Amino acid sequence: MASELQVGVGKIVSVNPATGEILRELECADESEVLAAVERAHIAQSAWADLGLEQRIAVLREFQRNLYARKSEVAAAITREVGKPLAEALVTEVLVVLDAARFLIHNAFSLLRDEPVPHGNLVTKLKRGWLVREPHGVIGIISPWNYPFSIPATETLAALVAGNAVVLKPSELTPLVALELASLLHAAGVPEDVFQVVVGEGPAGAALVHSPINKLVFTGSVGTGKRIAAAAADRLLPVVLELGGKDPMLVLDDADVDVASSAAVWGAFVNAGQACLSVERCYVHRSLCESFAQACAEKTKKLRVGNGIDPHTDVGPMIQERQVRIVESHVEDAKSRGARVLTGGTRMPELGPNYYAPTVLADVTHDMRIMREETFGPVLPVMACNDVDEAVGLANDSEYGLAASVWTRDPKRGERVARRIHAGTVMVNDVISCFGISEAPHGGVKASGVGRTHGRFGLEEMVRVKYLDTDRLPGMKKVWWHGYGEDFRRQMEGFLDMQFASNLTARLRGALRATGTLWRSRL
């Protein structure tokens, strides 16, 4: 059974990770083809922007209708190429994109329209100011394999509705899902040159980074993100970087063990743990830790592992054997340092080379790789803590800061703890679902990246903000123009006193001195 991406000369082969079946062979785009795609996008973008926001929203509405009609077909395509269960493909991919379209359809007009800017300074009261939001031009998107539909689609929809053209370079492991997205967008009315997919490996992504795009949105590893940031800095290319996480789950002493353990199991094993928002570290109050860990282990043992196309499957395969080896090495390191394996901890060769048993570890410490490096696999490490302060300190003791969760029967207490955690998102009594809240921004701090996608802030990333100012009296020379002198200096001092002096008398005296500016001679 094939277990790795198959690469030929100038070609990649999409492989079903559950079965090893070859799905399709595709030609890799070379540098000249990537540059040609970007050039076509630049040419087509102006007409797309001139189409107007209402017409672009109408295209998104048609896209939403088409995606809903083909929801099962799209979910099956995702499952074949990634391996995740069909139910997860529907909920974490198709549903997320349908709702992202809903958010933009309902809110893009109010968020992108010109915004008046009030003028508080008295000297500028005879002006009108506006914030004008304009498309960047061509947005380059480099997307990952773990959510090959929802991640690029949500970013693309925001870019398109703002008037940009998009060139998408998907992961070489999941190109077919990206082509499915292109088919849906083109059928909805997006011109082919306004949204293009360039298929390839690293060199195609590098060519896109160095091409004359106007902004780049990248989701992937910290190492690649840093290299992209360095390349972008060379020409001041604006970027949005989502670089993964090591998300902590804090279970306080008053938490509901049954509810929190179910959340931990789902949060650690959804998409076989291959999610940047996965629960990768679990800190549990010592009084609950053993019962919590045992509850997690018992629930994990009931999970059905297999081909995601089987509707009874709870956990599918990992994307490729290379990723399995990383998970295996983290678990073996933890075991060698004293961690207990409560369940799992082994491959499942009877199912294929890409399967690893969902694993629960107890007695873990921060000396172990499993608590410091991104595992990106089906492992739930549980560590005991003495109090909230210790749990918060351990949660913040990480180079990552994407998301976190706090579990308690007291929501107000949970919110107080959440404010102390260094992360882009903190959920109280839930995990991961923040990605499906279209109004909420997605992104992290520290090594988890810069910028945001989704919601108002994600849409703001897709535009340049221009300040436009118009004077209401175009025939009048401004009082601050040349023609200085001692009198003008005194008048300006009076003007400052009129606005900022601490008592009324000083303000009135200042106003009298400032009146001379109205008839002084100017060049």
Residue numbers annotated as active site: 242, 276
Residue 490 makes CB contacts below 8 A (sequence gap 6+) with: 513
Classify residue 519 as exposed, middle or buried by CB count within 10 Å of its CB (0-12, 13-18, 19+).
Answer: exposed
Q: 515 in the Ramachandran plot: left (φ > 0), alpha (ψ -120 to 50) or beta? A: alpha
Encoding tokens for residue 478?
């401004």
Residue with tokens 């073996």: 332
Kindly state the helix (H) or strand (E) to which residue 432 belongs, with its residue range. none
**347: which strand partners?**
356
Encoding tokens for residue 344?
């799992």
Q: What is the per-residue DSSP string for 161-219?
A: HTT-EEEEE--TT-HHHHHHHHHHHHHHT--TTTEEE---SHHHHHHHHHSS-SEEEEE
Encoding tokens for residue 292?
């919590």
CA-based radius of gyration for the chain: 28
- Rounded Cα distance between 14 and 7, Å, is 9
Count other C-beta atoms under 10 Å from residue 360's C-beta: 30
Using DSSP, how many helices (H) and how many strands (E) does the chain show?
17, 19
- Rounded Cα distance between 285 and 46, Å, is 57
Positive/negative CA dihedral, 477, 481, 487, 491: positive
- Rounded Cα distance between 193 and 502, Å, is 61
- Rounded Cα distance between 111 and 355, Å, is 45
Cα 372 to the chain's mean position, in Å? Answer: 21
DSSP code at position 253: T
One-letter amino acid of 3:
S
Q: Regarding beta strands 379-385 and 403-407, do their DSSP bridges make them parallel or antiparallel, or are they unpaired? A: unpaired
Count other C-beta atoms under 10 Å from residue 69's C-beta: 11
Residue 166 makes CB contacts below 8 A (sequence gap 6+) with: 41, 138, 139, 140, 141, 156, 159, 160, 194, 195, 196
Is the distance from CB of 358 to CB of 348 less than 8 angstroms?
no
Diameter of the chain measured on Cα atoms: 92
